[in-house]
Amino acid sequence: MARKGCIMFGQQVIFSAANQSYGFDSMKVVTVESDYQMSTIPGSPDCLAGFANLRGEIIPVCDIYKKFNLRGTVAAGNNTIFVNTDEGCLGCLVDEITEIGAVGEDLQMSLPTIATNDRTNYVEGIIRHKNTLVTVVNPDHVLTPDEWKVIHTLLKDDK
């Protein structure tokens, strides 16, 4: 049974960016790819690395370094986690996928209200997993509604 005030996270796809660990709920993950075509569209939101052609579908790909305001750039290899969101599929360019695994209830911590704001509302909580703190990311909130609006407009104009 979950403790009061504790968010249940379950199975996570854990990835790294800038030597920090993050996780997506595995139920939201569609696929992990490293070999696909990507191109840019002028006028795209700054956080986008481009658009992927994945099995004939054009999908926006977010540069996690830019979106999370991390220093450095994504490591070579184009490791991309494609996730389902409320707005459609989204690719997230990361350094590497480190693990897929279940998270114990006793290792989950929710964030205090003062730690969340419009720029970090994608953070659902923190997990302590194998002596590492993992930031749990809600894919539905990685991009803002305004960023999705621009993407939908660009993709309509591109057809």
φ, ψ of residue 54 to 5 degrees: the values are -110, 105
pLDDT of residue 4 exceeding 50, the answer is no
pLDDT of residue 3 exceeding 50, the answer is no
* Domains, the chain: 11-158 (2.40.50.180)
For the stretch 61-117, pLDDT in tens is 999 999 999 988 877 666 899 999 999 999 999 999 998 877 765 556 665 554 555
Euclidean distance between CA atoms 9 and 80, whole angstroms:
21
Q: In what order do the strands lie in the sheet with 20-25?
A: 96-102, 11-17, 20-25, 132-137, 123-129, 108-109
Euclidean distance between CA atoms 83 and 96, whole angstroms:
15
φ, ψ of residue 26 to 5 degrees: the values are -60, -25
Please report, for residues 57, 97, 136, 157, the alpha-carbon distance to residue 122 in angstroms, rounded to integers and kept in the order given: 25, 19, 8, 28
Residue bearing tokens 């989204």: 90
* Average pLDDT over all residues of the chain: 83
For the stretch 111-153, pLDDT in tens is 555 455 556 678 888 888 888 888 999 999 999 999 999 999 9
pLDDT of residue 116: 54
pLDDT of residue 6: 44
Euclidean distance between CA atoms 95 and 74, whole angstroms:
5
Q: Are strands 88-94 and 57-63 parallel, antiparallel or unpaired?
A: parallel
Q: Give yes or no for a contact between 119 and 143, defined as CB atoms under 8 angstroms apart.
A: no
DSSP letter, residue 61: E
Q: Give yes or no for a contact between 79 and 85, defined as CB atoms under 8 angstroms apart.
A: no
> Tokens in use for 47?
């956080």
